[in-house]
Amino acid sequence: MDIRLHQEFMPEEIIEEVRLRTDIVEIISEYVSLQRKGKTYLGLCPFHTEKTPSFTVTPEKQMFYCFGCNVGGNVFSFLMKKENWSFIECVQNLASRYGVALPEKELSPREREANRRRQRFEEIHELATSYFHELLLNAPEGEVGRLYFSKRGVDLDTMKSFRLGYAPDRWDGLLTFMKERGVQPNELVENGLAIERGTQGKSGGYYDRFRNRVLFSILDRRNHSIGFGGRVLDDSLPKYLNSPESEFFNKGHQLYGIHRAHQGIREKGYALLVEGYMDVIALQNAGYPNAVASLGTALTRDQAKLLRRYTQHVILLYDSDEAGIQAALRGGEILRDAGIRLDVATLKGAKDPDEFLKRYGAEDFGKVLGQVLNYFEFKYRTLVKEVPPQTIQEKAELVVKLAPDIIKVSSPIEREGYERFLSFELGLTFEAVQREIYRVENKNTKNVQFIEYSQQKQVSSGKNRDNIKGEIISQGENTPASPTVHLKVYRSERILLRLLIEEISYLPKIKAELGESFWKVPEHQQIFNYLNQEGKLPVNSEEQVQSRLASLLLEELDITHSERLLEDCIQGILSTQANERVEDLQARMAALEKSGDMAGAMALLKEIGERLKRGE
């Protein structure tokens, strides 16, 4: 009987049993060299580059936290981030390792068939990859492929790690190989590896799709083959040929090189996005394991989302010709809209990274990465080069053209920096540039209600992990703007949550004094909701919530006089609420609506209405 593990049918007690049986130190030690220090373990963080250990694992609380990059959580969130597994995949792997039986659910006929088809797709592609790879490495007819890669500087180890291949100059090489292993020609057609001759309804036989080409196996994060990109070795057309779109393969959802780069991106802290297969191979061999490429198409939003799962910073490195520059401009907009900080590197003296590395070497390439332009400046330089603005009108038009890029910047400091950049470059006053951009913004958001938010400023500090500015805090550069949060209230919220975690019996008093929706920090509200509804901490929640929870649990806090501490925190929050402006309440209400807490939002709406009646 076909079965599957399904999250909605997995009891919480099973998840908790897996968590309790798991040795978090044992698991994390497979990725990080940990040293015991009292009740905790310390090591170098696997999620960012550091020289002094700030990564902490606490077996007693079964949590980890990095005081350098503020990433934290439990063993599930660690594996989800490190291996890019789903929550269910983490539970499955740990349950298998520690001997916990998981519930099973019977598949429907449609699900059973879809599962069978996917498994068959993977089996066929694995066989095809082995066939092409073996021909390249060992067959006499693969000599032409070996010679091609040798001239491109690709050695045997690289051929193996990227599972490169060669398709022979025959019409039925793969067909014959597959038939001997029970794979029928129509199955190869369904999976994009063969083509049927003849007109519709009248088959004239079959022939291999890939012939006389070197093949780049497209591997997913699990190192499974899901498609191929082929390059001819003569003057045949098309020069490049990719696997066609299918039920299980979509070029716009994948990135070449991700099977190795998903770890490299984590380690480097950013991704190098290039255009060609050989660019990825050359860069990864030159010490840049974070290099990936789109699959012969313009960058898609799905590929940007895939990158966003691993990093918030991308360096774009497209070919230096006109087509490459335009591709960089288009790709930059997609990455920007995905919330990714984007820089653009420009190569001189070579058309692509592969050629540059062969001509100048890795050291000079490192210098190129040290001279990148942020996307906004790159776009400005490109537009000015195409049409240099001479008149006041042309300068005004350029500001209007670049305004959308500035408007979408969430950091006020970064936004002001771009506005001042335009002012300096175009010889215009800063105030004039600001007014013009505001005019565009106001036009685009006409009839939209504005809510005042606090000015957010980034502060680089391990301890100051919530970006405290004066007497307010904000969430960070890459998160949506949030209402002003006074430092006093922020500290009170953290202490209240810690007290609740240690002693859930405080819950009725907090609710009676403050209600259920007074929390200003969204992650604090979500953790409270778990405690209020479930009476325990969340095992599976958003990454930001897990990190916030880990920082709460691992913070050294004296709570010996808990009753007095509880009362002080409640009174501090009540005092601040009495002085809270209507605009602050509106901003907090919007945040609650966005998080889905409609009851809390309605309670604030009622309070806003009462204050407005009183003329506040």
Report the alpha-carbon distance of residue 307 to residue 301 in Å, rounded. 10
Checking DSSP bridges between strand 240-242 and strand 271-274, what pairing results, if any? Answer: unpaired
Q: How many CB atoms lie within 10 A of CB 486?
A: 20
Beta bridge partners of 468: 473
Report the alpha-carbon distance of residue 256 to residue 293 in Å, rounded. 5
How many CA atoms, within 13 angstroms, populate the side-chain half-sphere of residue 316?
31
**Greatest Cα pair distance in the chain:** 90
For position 88, what pLDDT does the model report? 84
> Strand, coil or helix: what is 535?
coil
Backbone angles phi, psi at 226, to 5 degrees: -125, 0
SS3 string, 310-335, reads CCCEEEECCCCCHHHHHHHHHHHHHH
Give how far Cα 2 sits from Cα of 9, 113, 480, Å: 16, 10, 43
Report the alpha-carbon distance of residue 502 to residue 234 in Å, rounded. 71
> Strand, coil or helix: what is 75?
helix
- E-state strands within 61-160: 63-66, 72-73, 105-106
Which stretches in the chain have pLDDT values below 70? 1-10, 104-105, 199-203, 444-485, 538, 540-541, 557, 559, 578-586, 588, 594-597, 607, 610-616
Q: Is the pTM of this model over 0.85?
A: no
CB-based burial label for 214 (10 Å; 0-12, 13-18, 19+): buried
User: Any idea what DSSP says for residue 256?
Assistant: B
Beta bridge partners of 341: 313
Report the alpha-carbon distance of residue 293 to residue 106 in Å, rounded. 39
Q: Specify the residue for token string 């979500």.
A: 526
| Residue 559 near residue 574, CB atoms below 8 Å | no
Beta bridge partners of 510: none
User: Any idea what DSSP says for residue 370?
Assistant: T
CB-based burial label for 218 (10 Å; 0-12, 13-18, 19+): buried
Q: How many CB atoms lie within 10 A of CB 583?
A: 15
**The token pair that represents 223 in the structure block:** 């190192």
Q: How many CB atoms lie within 10 A of CB 63?
A: 24
Q: Among 168, 170, 155, 127, which Cα is nearest to 146's?
A: 155
User: For 294-344, how does the pLDDT look when each residue is reduced to its tens digit (9 = 90+)?
Assistant: 887 789 999 998 888 778 899 999 877 788 888 889 999 999 888 888 999
For position 176, what pLDDT does the model report? 96
Q: Among 347, 271, 341, 337, which Cα is nearest to 302's?
A: 337
Report the alpha-carbon distance of residue 327 to residue 395 in Å, rounded. 25
| Residue 432 near residue 398, CB atoms below 8 Å | no
**The token pair that represents 190 in the structure block:** 């369904």
> Strand, coil or helix: what is 148?
helix
Give how far Cα 183 sits from Cα of 47, 175, 188, 194, 249, Å: 43, 8, 7, 12, 19
Report the alpha-carbon distance of residue 264 to residue 207 in Å, rounded. 39
Give how far Cα 599 sits from Cα of 586, 592, 593, Å: 14, 9, 9
Report the alpha-carbon distance of residue 361 to residue 113 in Å, rounded. 51
User: For 147-189, how does the pLDDT look when each residue is reduced to its tens digit (9 = 90+)?
Assistant: 999 999 999 999 999 999 999 999 999 999 999 999 999 999 9
Report the alpha-carbon distance of residue 373 to residue 358 in Å, rounded. 24
For position 615, what pLDDT does the model report? 57
Residues in the chain: 616
